[in-house]
Structure 1
Amino acid sequence: MEHRIETGADALYMDERDHVATALRDMQAGESIHYRNAAGLQMITLAEPIPFGHKVAVADIAFGQDVRKYGEVIGRAVNSIALGCHVHVHNIEGIRGRGDLGTKEAAQ
């Protein structure tokens, strides 16, 4: 029999504005996993494998939408990301401290 931590969570979710939760273990595509938000224990089915420590979408994320983790914007979606998909550098871009967002001075 498998024992779960008391919260019953497979992924860490910190803020009600978050679009992602962080995997607490390696998880496989097709697996149903749990995370806890203000409404209680939530379940989603994974569309892709999610490695330990990586992010999974707990909501659909539209192309160009800011992505939040721990209540903070961590990047912007470079394509649409469906619920249960892996969220990582292949589908979000960082927007902090880039220096290339529209100024000639940044290129120098």
Structure 2
Amino acid sequence: MTTAFRIHPDDNVATLLGDADDTVTVIGEGEIALNQAIALGHKVAMADIAQGDAVVKFGIPIGRAGAAIRRGDWVHLHNCASRFDERSGAFDVVTGAGKDMAYD
């Protein structure tokens, strides 16, 4: 089974240490059933996060939920707007490439 870790006790997300498609074990905290497949290094919601609420990692808000996020959801560009990069909503969810720029 794939594991994940919560960096800070106040975090509402955990980071996966491998690809997973059904369940992850958060080190020292138990299992979370995933609502979709999540890749290595990506975040899973540890609890429900209401639209507009802070997404917390490292003990600090890293963004705001752009939509309601359920426990077990993949937390990424499609449902979290970055507090650090105002262009985050224009990035491709899979590749991270900017969709608002033409690359020649």
TM-score, L = length of structure 1: 0.73
SS of 1:52's equivalent?
coil
Q: Which amino acid aligns with 1:66?
A: A
| Aligned residue-pair number | 86
- Can you give the 5+ residue segments of structure 1 that lack an aligned partner in the other structure? 99-108
Match of 1:35 in 2: 26
SS of 2:78's equivalent?
coil
Aligned-pair RMSD on alpha carbons? 1.7
- Can you give the 5+ residue segments of structure 2 that lack an aligned partner in the other structure? 87-104
Larger radius of gyration: 1
Match of 1:102 in 2: none
Structure 1 residues 41 and 66: alpha-carbon distance in aligned structure 2, compared to 1, 3 A threshold: closer
Structure 1 residues 50 and 97: alpha-carbon distance in aligned structure 2, compared to 1, 3 A threshold: closer
Q: Which amino acid aligns with 1:65?
A: D
Of 46, 52, 74 in structure 2, the residue corresponding to residue 86 of structure 1 is 74
Match of 1:22 in 2: 15
The offset of 1:59, in angstroms, is 0.5
Q: Which amino acid aligns with 1:34?
A: T
Greater than 6 Å deviation, 4+ residue runs:
none
